[in-house]
Structure 1
Amino acid sequence: MNKEIQVKNPKTMAFILMLGAFLGLFGETALNMALTNVMEEFSVTAGIAQWLTTGYLLVLAIFVPISALLMKWFTTRQLVIGGLVISLLGAVLAALSPSFAILLTGRLVQAIGTGILIPVMTNVLLIIFPIHKRGVVMGIMGLVITLGPALGPTLSGVIISSLGWSYIFWISAVLYVFLTIYAAAQIANVSEITKPKIDVLSIILSTFGFGGLIFALSTMAEMAISSPQVLVPLLIGVIALLLFGIRQMKMDQPMVNLRVFKYPMFTLGTLMMFLSILVILSTAILLPMYLKGALLFSAAVAGLMLLPGNAVNVIMSPIVGTLFDKFGPRVFVITGSIIVLIGNVIFASVISATTPVWQIIVAFMVLFFGLTMVTMPSQTNALNELPRELYADGSAAMNTLNQVAGAAGTAIAITLFTAGQNSFALNVPDASQAEILASGVKYAFYFITGISAVALICSFFVKKAGGLKEKSPAAVKATKPAHR
Structure 2
Amino acid sequence: MANMVTGTIRRGPIMASLLIAAFVALLSQTVLNVALPVMMKDLDVSENTIQWLSNGYMLVNGVLVPISAFFINRFTTRRLFLIASSLFAIGTIVCAVSPGFEVLLAGRLIQAAGAGILMPLMTIVILTIFPVAERGKAMGTMGIAMIFAPAIGPTLSGWVVEHYDWRVLFYIVLPLALFAVAFGAYSMRNVIQTSRPKLDIIGVILSTLGFGGLLYGFSDAGKAGWGDATVVTCLVVGGISLLLFVIKSLMTEKPLLEIKVFKYPMFSLTTVINAIVTMAMFSGMILLPIFLQNVRHFTPLESGLLLLPGAILMGIMSPITGMIFDKIGARWLAVIGLIITSITTYEFSHLAIDSSYNHMMLVYTARMFGMSLLMMPIQTAGLNQLPRRLNAHGSAMSQTLRNVSGAMGTALLVTVMSNKAASRATELVVAGGFDPTDPKNEKLMSPIVDASTIYGINQAFVVATWMTVAALVLAFFIKKATPAEETPAVTPAGEVAPAKR
Q: Same fold (TM over 0.5)?
A: yes
Moved more, 137-146 or 368-377: 137-146
Amino acid at match of 2:372: T
Q: 1:165 to 1:126 in 2, by over 3 A?
A: same
State the match for 2:273 in structure 1.
272
Q: 1:22 to 1:276 in 2, by over 3 A?
A: farther
Q: 1:178 to 1:391 in 2, by over 3 A?
A: same
Q: 1:45 to 1:352 in 2, by over 3 A?
A: farther
Query: 2:155 touches 2:308 (CA, 8 Å); kept in 1?
Result: yes
Which secondary structure does the structure 1 equivalent of 2:422 belong to? helix
Moved more, 351-360 or 198-207: 351-360
State the match for 2:62 in structure 1.
61
State the match for 1:374 in structure 2.
374
From 476, 483, 498, the counterpart of 1:460: 476
State the match for 2:404 in structure 1.
404
| Alignment pair present for 1:147 and 2:171 | no
| Alignment pair present for 1:439 and 2:455 | yes
Where does 1:144-293 land on structure 2 (aligned, <5 Å)?
Answer: 144-293=145-294
Which secondary structure does the structure 2 equivalent of 1:253 belong to? coil
Q: CA deviation at 1:4?
A: 11
Query: 2:151 touches 2:308 (CA, 8 Å); kept in 1?
Result: no
| Alignment pair present for 1:336 and 2:337 | yes
CA distance, structure 2, for counterparts of residue 279 and residue 170 of structure 1: 33
CA distance, structure 1, for counterparts of residue 107 and residue 287 of structure 2: 26
CA distance, structure 1, for counterparts of residue 232 and residue 386 of structure 2: 36
Q: CA deviation at 1:414?
A: 2.6
CA distance, structure 1, for counterparts of residue 283 and residue 59 of structure 2: 17
State the match for 1:306 in structure 2.
307
Unmatched 5+ stretches in structure 1: 472-484
Which secondary structure does the structure 1 equivalent of 2:373 belong to? helix
Q: 1:6 to 1:368 in 2, by over 3 A?
A: farther
Residues 28-79 of structure 1: CA deviation (Å, up to 9, x unaligned): 2221111211121123333332222222211111000111001111111111
Moved more, 200-209 or 292-301: 292-301
Amino acid at match of 2:54: T
State the match for 2:497 in structure 1.
none
Query: 2:147 touches 2:311 (CA, 8 Å); kept in 1?
Result: no
CA distance, structure 2, for counterparts of residue 229 and residue 467 of structure 1: 43
Q: CA deviation at 1:185?
A: 1.0
Moved more, 214-223 or 403-412: 403-412
Q: 1:281 to 1:104 in 2, by over 3 A?
A: farther
State the match for 1:448 in structure 2.
464
TM-score (normalizing by structure 2): 0.89
Q: 1:355 to 1:338 in 2, by over 3 A?
A: same
Residues 386-414 of structure 1: CA deviation (Å, up to 9, x unaligned): 11111111101111111112222232233
CA distance, structure 2, for counterparts of residue 87 and residue 246 of structure 1: 34
| Alignment pair present for 1:469 and 2:470 | no
CA distance, structure 1, for counterparts of residue 138 and residue 470 of structure 2: 28
Amino acid at match of 2:69: A
Query: 1:7 touches 1:188 (CA, 8 Å); kept in 2?
Result: no
Amino acid at match of 2:254: Q
Q: CA deviation at 1:201?
A: 0.2
CA distance, structure 2, for counterparts of residue 4 and residue 467 of structure 1: 21
Query: 1:47 touches 1:222 (CA, 8 Å); kept in 2?
Result: no
CA distance, structure 1, for counterparts of residue 386 and residue 225 of structure 2: 40
Q: CA deviation at 1:371?
A: 0.7
CA distance, structure 1, for counterparts of residue 346 and residue 31 of structure 2: 27
CA distance, structure 1, for counterparts of residue 118 and residue 339 of structure 2: 33
Q: 1:163 to 1:468 in 2, by over 3 A?
A: farther
CA distance, structure 1, for counterparts of residue 83 and residue 463 of structure 2: 40
State the match for 1:78 in structure 2.
79
Query: 1:59 touches 1:111 (CA, 8 Å); kept in 2?
Result: yes
Residues 144-183 of structure 1: CA deviation (Å, up to 9, x unaligned): 2233323321222223223332222111111011111111
- When the two chains are superposed, the root-mean-square deviation of aligned CA atoms in Å is 2.0
Q: CA deviation at 1:88?
A: 1.0
Q: 1:420 to 1:230 in 2, by over 3 A?
A: same
Q: 1:6 to 1:277 in 2, by over 3 A?
A: farther
How many percent identity over aligned positions?
37
State the match for 1:423 in structure 2.
423
Q: 1:371 to 1:29 in 2, by over 3 A?
A: same
Query: 2:384 touches 2:483 (CA, 8 Å); kept in 1?
Result: no
Q: CA deviation at 1:256?
A: 1.1
Q: 1:48 to 1:245 in 2, by over 3 A?
A: same
Query: 1:54 touches 1:407 (CA, 8 Å); kept in 2?
Result: no
CA distance, structure 1, for counterparts of residue 31 and residue 285 of structure 2: 11
TM-score (normalizing by structure 1): 0.92
CA distance, structure 2, for counterparts of residue 194 and residue 98 of structure 1: 42
Moved more, 49-58 or 256-265: 49-58
CA distance, structure 1, for counterparts of residue 57 and residue 152 of structure 2: 17
Q: 1:328 to 1:61 in 2, by over 3 A?
A: same
Query: 1:4 touches 1:126 (CA, 8 Å); kept in 2?
Result: no
